[in-house]
Amino acid sequence: MRIIRDMLRGTRTLPHVGNHPGTYCLLWLIGFGVLAGAKSGGLAGALAGLAVMSFGVGPIYLWGAYDRARLSDALEEREVSSK
């Protein structure tokens, strides 16, 4: 459960590392997948494009979010221990 919590926490703004730099890229890629799917397959194609892009790019985004959360924790711990 800690891994999932850190993934979700990493998607938001964190005190030591700021915003996730891949959020807008993820949204653009998912949007392009939806548009490409809708162009060739209507609503079913749009949903397929959404699924393909979410499952293709989403795990990479969440991996980065997890790393960001852990880095923010490490920087906070270093800051607290140096005081």
The per-residue pLDDT for range 10-63, each reduced to its tens digit, is 999 999 999 999 999 999 999 999 999 999 999 999 999 999 999 999 999 999
Burial class (CB in 10 A: 0-12, 13-18, 19+), 67: middle
Q: How much is the pTM?
A: 0.86
Q: What is the helix, strand, coil percentage profile of the chain, to 5?
A: 80, 0, 15
- Higher pLDDT residue, 40 or 83? 40
47 alpha carbon, distance to own chain's centre = 19
Domain range annotation of the chain:
2-81
The per-residue pLDDT for range 64-79, each reduced to its tens digit, is 999 999 999 999 999 8
Amino acid residing at 41: G
Look at residue 63 and give its three-state secondary structure: helix
